[in-house]
């Protein structure tokens, strides 16, 4: 059974960079796309982007200038960095696995981690 | 970006009811639509993809239909564990987008 677990600071100051890591267990990262999705009361569920196990990325244009994703298959981890954060970036952040290249839906999710942007 | 609009935003129902949730895309998305169920404090759970394909392990009382711009999720006989918020998601084009959610509450 694949499991995902987000980790990182729960509080980030405005203008700083939010950094989260997702650790994958119970399965290989190979041949899968891995995504970050966030959820806030104001904007609902928002797909932030994905990273392929090989390192190829695709970001949501609404965040493209601020988001960076990376992967370390040797550690079974992938990461998210979101720069220049504001209060609008306060949300629950989920990491998730993309089911397949033909059905790009999310079949496994982490439990989510709340990140608050505040000074 | 493709806008996904769900209706209603919320409603009340009773155990045993047949309920239907609608999702409309702002442009045609063929059958590239998924449905998720989310309970408070939990991550969304994949129910259906490709508009009508049931994810492994999901009860058969959940059915999805539609193509193009109009889609429905039906729960044939609502169980207590089905009271939750449901989201649709399109994966026809980037950026992948979600509907705003439909909350199913106990009457």
pLDDT at A4: 98
Would you say B58 and B48 are in contact if contact means Cβ atoms under 8 Å apart? yes
Strand partners, A46: A38, B97
C-alpha A13: how far from chain center? 19
Strand partners, A57: A51
Q: Which of residues 4-43 of A touch B (CB under 8 A)?
A: none
Is A2 at the interface with chain B, CB within 8 A? no
Burial B2-11 (b: 16+ CB within 10 A, else e): bebebeeeee
Q: From the CA of B51, how many Å to the nearest CA of chain A?
A: 11
* Distance between CA atoms of residues A113 and A52, nearest Å: 22
* Share of residues in chain B with pLDDT > 70 (%): 100
pLDDT digits (tens, 9 = 90+) for A54-75: 999 999 999 989 999 999 999 9
pLDDT digits (tens, 9 = 90+) for A5-48: 999 999 999 999 999 999 999 999 999 999 999 999 888 999 99
Candidates B32, B96, B103: best to mutate against A (most CBs of A within 10 A) is B96
């Amino acid at each position: 059974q694949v499991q995902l677990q987000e980790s990182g600071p729960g509080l980030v100051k405005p203008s700083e960079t939010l950094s989260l890591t997702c650790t994958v267990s119970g399965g290989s990262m190979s041949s899968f796309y891995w995504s970050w999705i966030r959820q806030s009361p104001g904007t609902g569920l928002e797909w932030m982007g994905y990273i392929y196990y090989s390192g190829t990325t695709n970001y949501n244009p609404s965040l493209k200038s601020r988001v960076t994703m990376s992967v370390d298959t040797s550690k079974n981890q992938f990461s998210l960095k979101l720069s220049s954060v504001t209060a609008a970036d306060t949300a629950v952040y989920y990491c998730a696995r993309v089911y397949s290249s033909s059905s790009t839906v999310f079949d496994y999710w982490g439990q989510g981690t709340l990140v608050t942007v505040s000074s | 970006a493709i806008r996904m609009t769900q209706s209603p935003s919320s409603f009340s129902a009773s155990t045993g009811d047949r309920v239907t949730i609608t999702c409309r895309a702002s442009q045609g998305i063929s059958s590239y639509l998924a449905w998720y169920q989310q309970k408070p404090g939990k991550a969304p759970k994949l129910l259906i993809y490709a508009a009508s394909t049931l994810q492994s392990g999901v009860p058969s009382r959940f059915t999805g239909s539609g193509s193009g711009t109009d889609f429905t999720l039906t729960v044939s006989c609502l169980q207590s564990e089905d009271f939750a918020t449901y989201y649709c998601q399109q994966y026809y084009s980037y950026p992948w987008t979600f509907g705003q959610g439909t909350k199913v509450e106990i009457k």
